[in-house]
Chain A
Amino acid sequence: MTTNLKLAWRNIWRNKRRTLITVASIFFGVLLSTLMTSLQEGTYSKMIENVVGFYSGYIQVHHPDFWEDKTIENTFTPSDTLINILENESGVTMYAPRLESFTLLSFKNNTKGVALIGIDPEKENQITKLSHWVEKGHYLTANDNGILVPINIAKNLGVDVGDTLVLMSQGFHGASAAALFPVKAILKFPAPTMNNLGVFIDIRAAQAFYSAPDKYTSMVLMVSDNSKVKHIRHSLQSKIKSHLKLMTWDEMDPLTNNMIKADREQNMITKAILFVLIGFGIFGTVIMMMAERRKELGVMVAIGMQKSKLGKIIFFETTLIGMVGVLIGFVVSLPLIAWLVYHPIPLTGETAKVYEQYGFEAAMYFSAHWTVFTQQVLIIFAMTMTVFIYPLVKIVRIKVSKDLHS
């Protein structure tokens, strides 16, 4: 055992150049597939970030019936324990309350039915960067009595900053709700649908308007990383003993989730092609290595080395070369990816313009999630071991009389 290992070790370093080339082909394999996987995962994370950062957040806390029946009756009053749990859950980075319902907006002779979203101006801004979309006027301050109107709704009603809107709706337990709100700002979202969706006011004003003091329809939670969402939801659900329902972003937006799933599965084909090409690259070097060592191996067998022992030595050589290759691949790709995560590759030209139009940052994003690395390292290592079936077959087929003459 130790002799075999020692022999394998010496064989590897006997011809450094040969070893280096084989190691290099394994190294490039790891590097390329890591880069590709990292880019792919980075793109998905960005997509998810866009979705959650735009409106939904990663997790929402609801009254159990709210999602099916979004009325002002399905609200909840957050208890101190709930706030405590959210504050102390390590993965939750931010949370913001909302009170959403429908209202009629009137200005002069124009009336329109839209969603009314009561928000905590400061907390909401940390999550969805709402103030970023202010086209004209000013964002809400704490305890503001103003209203933020998206551009399409403003155009339809013919209102501008400074005008006063009449809001009419039905409040909690059928109370009638009516109030005046001055337009504080016009919002312009990059996504067209958001510009027709609804208007924003301070949550305390919304609670007063709907006669629902201290009530929320939802609490939006942000977490540090999408991969932790399921775990945090589970942890929160077990701590929150009341009937409240927790929903993750993929349950609220199954479309994006499906899109990512479909894309991921289709990318399997692309990755399979890449792995085959990498495999052939490694295979090519191994074939040449065997051609080069034909005589050497022939001599070994001629002087009485058992083929099985020779096979074992080759196996150790493979394992060592494969391990060195994937390790170097990992060691090089780690800082590279880490750098790319913080310095995404910017896109230019027409594509960049189209992306920006939709409010996406025009760049290619990378992910440094640990599975990106481990997966590639394991796959390439397994591939290297598979490719080395070829030398084993060659050894079994050694014919001393022929190979000595080559």
Chain B
Amino acid sequence: MMLIAVAWRNIWRNKTRSLVILISVCLGLAAGIFNMAFYYGMVDQRIETVIKTEASHIQVHHPSYLANPEKVFKIDNAEQIAEQIEAIPGVKSVSKRIMLNTMIQSPTAGSGVRIMGIDPEKEKAVTNLYTKVIEGNYLDSGKRNPILIGKKLAEKLKVKLKSKVVITLQDMEGNMTAASFRVEGIYESANTTFDEMNVFVRSNDIAHVLLLDEKSAHEIAVLLNTNDQMLQVASLIAAKLPKLEVKNWRQIMPEMNLIESSLDITMFIFIIIILLALLFGIINTMLMAVLERAKELGMLMAIGMTKRKIFTMILLETVLLSLFGGLLGMGVGWMLNIYFSIYGIDISVWSEAYRSMGFDTMIYTKLSFGTSMQIALMIFATGIIAAIYPAMKALKLNPADALRIDM
């Protein structure tokens, strides 16, 4: 106990040195927490976009459809199946879609797209597409052959609201046919690649052109109450529908795993480098401190302080500094984290790159308390490890020599 008091006084005897260590630890921890929160926030938002806008939690297809997205691989009686799925506990909402890869043309340009034939009302309950409409209306205005296209595609096709676009397709009987649609709305999601690839029409409009019966669909998207139930509900659905393929969003978009993995590595390296920089910084500063206090330490030894106590005293100094620096760093890190989780960080400077990968340009930080505690523990442990070597150096002092040092 007395040693703690002595160590505490020693710390404040040389304020600048103590502040330097304190600030380093604080800065290291705060930066660690903030950086983690930033990247986790970014990935979390991407996952949310994947679930809410693109893939939903679970998708059901004809077993051949995903490998070969041809219109013939449809789900018959999709309406009935959708109702069955909706009855499963944990399922929030279900939407069936008719999908078709084909060409869309404006008077000036053409592009390959995926037509999504949806029931506007049911789709609203599954995806948040309707909230992403930036111009015009969602598909619920009741006009004839409306189409909702992405902003990126609208730019590519050079079309505006009310422009006419022509969809060329091969109907179920194999005849080439074309249908004209009027741009009713333009949407913009966080993912420009998605916006360029997907256009939305009413399912009965496209079924009519395609000569497909309205009860069939190519995809049934399922939104759950929470992400945690995903695997469980997916197996329930799969058990009920043995003839269809049931996949969750991770299986449908495996690239998400790649993004998460590479992020984990980046974070790992970042933390290691921060820890190393801290380690060397503290070791060197404490080593200098021991050197400077050689006479004082020699005196303490000469008047009978045991080596163990001296070792503990120097260790305690660093531990106390790391502890306070750590607490301060936690405070600063969390304040930044909370502030930016509400107000967000604007990374629109690099928007083009991030949006084409599907990331939002406003990042809201997010971090679990557990992760930040882990970082705090690692930094604290670094502080202690860093103190051991200088403390050991202090033990090697010979009281007789140390006393004679002329400072």
Which A residues have a C-beta under 8 Å from some C-beta of B? 17-18, 21-22, 24-25, 28-29, 32, 35-36, 39, 152, 155-156, 255, 258-259, 261-262, 265-266, 269-270, 273-274, 276-278, 280-285, 287-289, 291-292, 294-295, 347, 350-351, 354-355, 357-358, 364, 406
Residue of B nearest to A254 (CB): B352
**Per-position contact with A for B323-343: 1 when CB-CB < 8 Å, else 0?**
000000000000000000000
> Judging by beta carbons under 8 Å apart, are B27 and A277 in contact?
yes
Residues on A with C-beta less than 8 A from B288 are: 18, 21-22, 284-285, 287-289, 292
B275 nearest in chain A by CB position: A277
* A155 touching B68, Cβ below 8 Å: yes
Q: Quick check: A292 and B407 within 8 Å, CB to CB?
A: yes
The answer, yes or no, to whether B210 is at the interface (CB within 8 Å) is no
Interface residues of B (CB under 8 A from A): 14, 16-17, 20-21, 23-24, 27-28, 31, 35, 67-68, 70, 254-255, 257-258, 261-262, 264-265, 269-270, 273-274, 276-278, 280-282, 284-285, 287-289, 291-292, 347, 349-350, 352-354, 356-357, 406-407
A325: min CB distance to chain B, Å: 11
Complex-state Cα separation, A302 to B16, whole angstroms:
25
- Apart from A35-B273, A288-B285, A294-B407, what 9 extra A-B contacts exist at CB < 8 Å? A21-B287, A270-B273, A277-B24, A281-B277, A284-B20, A288-B17, A288-B291, A295-B407, A354-B257
Contact check, A281 vs B350: say whether CB atoms are below 8 A apart: no
Which residues of chain B are near A280, meaning CB under 8 Å? Answer: 20, 23-24, 27, 281
How many A-B Cβ pairs are below 8 Å? 144
- Give complex CA distance A266, B68 in Å: 39
Verify B291–A292 contact, CB threshold 8 A.
yes
User: Secondary structure at chain A's binding surface: helix, strand, loop or mixed?
Assistant: helix
B296 nearest CB across to chain A (Å): 12
Could you tell me the distance in whole angstroms from the C-beta of B71 to the nearest C-beta in chain A? 13
* Docked pose: A36 CA to B262 CA in angstroms: 16
A17, A155, A156, A288: which has the most chain B beta carbons within 10 Å?
A288
Report whether B357 and A259 are in contact in the complex, using a CB–CB cutoff of 8 Å: yes
Question: Contact: B31 with A273, CB < 8 Å?
Answer: yes
Asked if residues B353 and A273 are in contact (CB atoms below 8 Å), the reply is no
Contact across chains for A284 and B261 when beta carbons are under 8 A apart: no
With A284-B284, A364-B265 in contact, is A277–B291 under 8 Å at CB?
no
Bound-state CA distance A270–B347 (Å) is 15
Complex: chain A residue closest to B265, CB-CB:
A351
Q: How far is the CA of A118 from the CA of B337 in the complex (A)?
A: 54
Q: Whole-angstrom distance between the alpha carbons of A280 and B285 in the complex? A: 9
Q: Given A284-B21, A292-B407, A357-B254, check contact A255 B356 (CB 8 Å).
A: yes
| Complex alpha-carbon distance, A325 and B396, angstroms | 26
